[in-house]
Structure 1
Amino acid sequence: MKAAQFSRFGGPEVLEIVDLPDPHAGPGQVRVAVRAAGVNASDWKKRQGLMDQELPQTMGYEVAGIVDELGEGVTKVDIGDRVFGFSTEGPAQAELAVLSFYAPIPASLDFAAAAALPVAVETAARALDQLGVRNGNTLLVNGASGSIGRAAVSFAVARGARAIGTCGAANHEVVRSCGGEPVTYGDGMVQRVRALAPDGVDLALDVAGNGVLPDLIDLAGGPEHVVTIADFAGAEQYGVRFSRGDAGRALYTLDQIGDLIESGGFSVPVGATFPLTDIAEAHRAGETGQVGGKLVLLVGGSR
């Protein structure tokens, strides 16, 4: 199969498309003919040598495709089904991928939109679980208009919580569409939040990592009521929990997200798509931050 790989660390130019042996599904797994694969910041961090040090490396873990091989014991999907999920034991940015965690693609989504889901929904749900968000809480989401922020607002509202979300003025309607109450970033943010919640909030989630942890701690009444997914240094400095997947992933969200999407309660915008062969261009677009929405690699058709 064809797959994206790099054999030395560096810029996007080190990426290449290589031939690798076809993977096969093990017990409980499915293999898919990949139609779309998500691109994340971790991809270029790996390529730059800021994470794993092994060489060569393949990349990606968000996949949407068509099941073409079933592992032993798989009963909830069949050959030919459209599924999305995580490729944890091999590349996702490839023609074939083996999924250990997967679910049917919601009927309203194409492959690109489905490939944009796994990281956003798992990360958001995990952070809400770690915060203990439940019915009756007021949650502040800092950075509510991006993929993870939208998911956090939508999930909090679905749990019966009130969600206040910080974002740029141009994205207020995005937050409202997820059931949240928007507040503009920047100077005066604390006062604007208190105008909506005079006694502060119960809990706060930092998705943006833009240096406002002290404000979130103030609004939520202490660092124990705040989780960040984006500010590791700030978490250490202020005693805030940094959300990590190694503490337990919220993989149940793959099965649950379909109902929320089909009801109109959640979506992840795809900002740009690239053929697998143009993966270097996808990395350049991601690193510049000039594309709003998720970056997705296409392999074959988009539906």
Structure 2
Amino acid sequence: MRAITADRYGGPEVLEFTETADPKIAPDAVLVRVKAAGVNPVDWKVVAGYLDPIMHAHFPLIPGWDVSGVVEAVGLDATEFSVGDEVCGYVRKDEVQHGTFAELVAAPVRTLAKKPSSLDWRQAAGLPLAGLTAHQSLARIGVTRGDTVLVHAAAGGVGSFAVQIAVALGARVIGTASERNHDFLRSLGAEPVVYGDGLAERVRELAPDGITAAVDYVGEDAVEVSQQLLTDRSRVASVVDASVTQRGGHHVWVRPSTTDLTDLGRLADSGSLTVNVDHALPLAEAGEAFRLSAEGRTRGKIVLEVD
């Protein structure tokens, strides 16, 4: 099969589009013929070696954790899916080597769900990691109807999902973003504010009584600002700032979950959640996708299409 591989840590320049062996299927896995693979900041960070202290990489490695595609074969005990099923998933395994930037990927069944019928292949590939991150961080702090939620980096891949999920739950959402993304946030149901100096004061103008929950997808001083505004300082979750736990909040490392991914699919099929694909590139241009992701200016998702 053709795949994107890296034989050492580094930047986009270490990526190669090459021929490699087809993956083997474990008993609890299925073989997926890839239609599209989502690109997330963690992908280029893995290749750069930033996650080496917590996730060991085996070279040559194929990056990528997000996928959409069709089940081509099933493992000996993979009864959850059948050949021909259209699926999407967050295919994170215990170690980094056999990822989704390829024509085929062996995916444990615990990482997959049926593809939402309302989403095309590109959208379905952009949903899993970012959607699950948003879903699980909001769940960790118990966001529900009546909450006023502050979403940091609300126009990004994770933030835009968090806005939509919180709105679907019945919460009021205030989202930080640059001014160029304010109309986009309004279209998702959020009240936008500019990030940066004076953020706390701008949020107080919208919510004089403070906020009841906050999710941080950007880092820097987001947790500190959130806790200045929260009525309960423990109701903040960050996927970026691990020190949030020392301040009484929650650090979230997203987990594969068929149940949660199925919930996201239901939201998509009901019209409550859309997946905005900002860039769709051929698989061979993974290096360019990494460069776009590292710039941090993408509104929504970047995906690689597999022919």
| Residues 67 and 249 (structure 1), Cα distance of their counterparts in 2 relative to 1, 3 Å cut | closer
| Residues 105 and 251 (structure 1), Cα distance of their counterparts in 2 relative to 1, 3 Å cut | closer
Q: Name the structure 2 match of 1:297.
A: 304
The structural deviation recorded for 1:108 is 2.7
The structural deviation recorded for 1:73 is 4.3
RMSD: 2.3
The structural deviation recorded for 1:60 is 0.8
The structural deviation recorded for 1:239 is 4.8
Q: Name the structure 2 match of 1:65.
A: 69
Asked if residue 241 in structure 1 is aligned to residue 250 in structure 2, the reply is yes
Superposition pairs of residues 1-150 of structure 1, within 5 angstroms: 1-52=1-52, 54=57, 55-89=59-93, 90-100=98-108, 101-150=111-160
Q: Name the structure 2 match of 1:279.
A: 286
- CA-to-partner distance for each residue in 1:36-85, whole Å, 9 max, x for gaps? 11112222222222223543322111011111112244455432222111
- The whole-number CA distance in structure 1 between the counterparts of 2:85 and 2:10 is 38
- CA-to-partner distance for each residue in 1:92-120, whole Å, 9 max, x for gaps? 11110122222222223221111100011
- The whole-number CA distance in structure 2 between the counterparts of 1:45 and 1:34 is 22
Q: Name the structure 2 match of 1:154.
A: 164
The structural deviation recorded for 1:153 is 1.8
Indicate conservation of the 8 Å contact 1:121/1:253, yes or no: no
- The whole-number CA distance in structure 2 between the counterparts of 1:253 and 1:179 is 22
Indicate conservation of the 8 Å contact 2:239/2:253, yes or no: yes
Q: Name the structure 2 match of 1:190.
A: 200
Counterpart of 1:224 in 2: which secondary structure? coil
Q: Name the structure 2 match of 1:218.
A: 228
Q: Name the structure 2 match of 1:177.
A: 187
What TM-score do the two structures reach when normalised by structure 2? Answer: 0.87
| Residues 20 and 294 (structure 1), Cα distance of their counterparts in 2 relative to 1, 3 Å cut | same
The structural deviation recorded for 1:253 is 2.2
Asked if residue 204 in structure 1 is aligned to residue 208 in structure 2, the reply is no
- The whole-number CA distance in structure 1 between the counterparts of 2:160 and 2:89 is 19
| Residues 288 and 174 (structure 1), Cα distance of their counterparts in 2 relative to 1, 3 Å cut | closer
Structure 1 runs, 4 residues or longer, greater than 6 Å off: none
Deviating more after overlay: 32-41 vs 217-226: 217-226
- The whole-number CA distance in structure 2 between the counterparts of 1:288 and 1:168 is 14
The structural deviation recorded for 1:288 is 3.0
Indicate conservation of the 8 Å contact 2:90/2:256, yes or no: no
Structure 2: 5+ residue stretches without partners: none
Amino acid at match of 2:157: S
Structure 1: 5+ residue stretches without partners: none
Task: Report the count of equivalent residues.
Answer: 297
Indicate conservation of the 8 Å contact 2:155/2:177, yes or no: yes
